[in-house]
Amino acid sequence: MSAQTITRTMSVLSEVSGFSTEEIAKVAERYPLAVSPFIVKRLQEGNYSLEALRQFLPDTRELMDIEGFVGDPTGEKELQPERSILRTYHNRLAIIVTLKCLVYCRFCFRKEKVGFPDSVMPESELDKAIDYIAAHPEINDILLSGGDPLSLSNQKLLSFLKKLRELKQLKAIRIDSRALSFAPDRLDGELLEFLEADGRYWYYAHMNHPDDVNHPDIIAATKRLLSAGIPIYNQCVFLAGVNDNVETMVELMETCYEHKIIPYNLYVLDRVKGGAHFDVPIDRVVEIYEAISHLAGPAQPLLVFVDEKSRKHRAVYHESLDLHQFLNLRMNYSNHQRQPSLV
């Protein structure tokens, strides 16, 4: 974002939130700020709520140093055989395609890494990822992550995807992106034509509030993806002040289901430094997840937390399952987190 764009964005954020531009600027000096033009326009039109905006709204609480909230809560540093690769499992891995985003989530577990001036992923590093996969035939499933892969231009992204296309061992290529909700026009004809020609692509959306779905441009982009034969799965995070009530979360799951965006994972917050104010108490998580259990089966996501070795722990609601006990495991893992809090 240019300096002029950032200034204009801060002005809009201040008007909507009541935070001063000075407060917003202070936080943005520590953690990068970006809000897509699509969201800025919606804010000005009055059809994007303050609750949804809090996902990207700089908050001075991000500058607080809270015990147990650390710079690398999922231990990714120890799981990178190459700078562009995160490998946790035997047969699959994530490729960090870029360290830039369309919007910067204030709760991001990679907020110490993404969006800074020196946060770049050179093409040479992506070539190393290609070579690594080719040398490990057991890898048949990859996730394109970041940053946001769709923050790249088609020229850069498709150049990389063409190289991936030659790896016949891959059975699934998942694209993890917020473009559907925050830059729906990014899902353009050129990109979808390329993805449609290869049946291995999946799209992972990240919608945390009904406002992330409820807009004609988002619904139209959803239909374009589905028409291209690309399944859409949603990953959501429990966020205090955004979706930590039954009504909002139920509406989100039902709306996604209605539009064939399958609710997949519902994450408990990664305990990242600067994100403590988003943490939702266990009792509230259990209350909301119990309510979701009464929805139609395809509208019920898995309840997930990620441990300090970047492994996912999943549960589904059942009366015989003690969700409190399951969620307390997250705290046990966090207490064994060896990564020191970053200053």
Peptide bond preceding 71 in cis form (omega within 30 of 0) = no
User: Which one has a higher pLDDT value, 340 or 6?
Assistant: 6
Q: Stretch 281-306: mean pLDDT, rounded?
A: 96
Domain-located, residue 25? yes
Domain-located, residue 259? yes
**DSSP letter for each residue of 103-119:** S--TT-TTTTTSSSTT-
Domain-located, residue 228? yes
Task: Give the range of the structural domain holding residue 102, as residue numbers without chain letter.
Answer: 3-335
Q: What is the pLDDT of residues 197-231, one digit of tens each?
A: 999 999 999 999 999 999 999 999 999 999 999 99
CATH code of 146's domain: 3.20.20.70
Q: What is the pLDDT of residues 125-156, one digit of tens each?
A: 999 999 999 999 999 999 999 999 999 999 99
Q: Which residues of 74-94 are buried (b: 16+ CB within 10 A; e: fewer)?
A: bbbeebeebebbbbbeeebbb
Domain-located, residue 277? yes
Split into its structural domains, the chain has a count of 1
| pTM for this entry | 0.94
Res 342: pLDDT: 25
Provide the percentage of residues in the chain whose pLDDT is more than 70: 96
Domain-located, residue 94? yes
Read off the pLDDT band of 82 (50, 70, 90).
Answer: very high
Domain-located, residue 330? yes
- Give start and end residues of each alpha helix (H) in 31-167: 37-45, 50-53, 123-134, 154-165
Q: Give how far Cα 222 sits from Cα of 164, 194, 195, 242, 338, Å.
A: 24, 16, 14, 23, 41
Structure tokens at 92: 């699959």
Read off the pLDDT band of 117 (50, 70, 90).
Answer: confident
pLDDT over 50 at 315, yes or no: yes
Res 268: pLDDT: 97
Domain-located, residue 341? no
The whole-chain average pLDDT of the chain stands at 94
Strands, E assignment, the chain: 85-86, 92-96, 141-145, 172-176, 201-205, 232-237, 262-267, 302-306, 312-315
Domain-located, residue 340? no
CA distance 272 to 284: 20
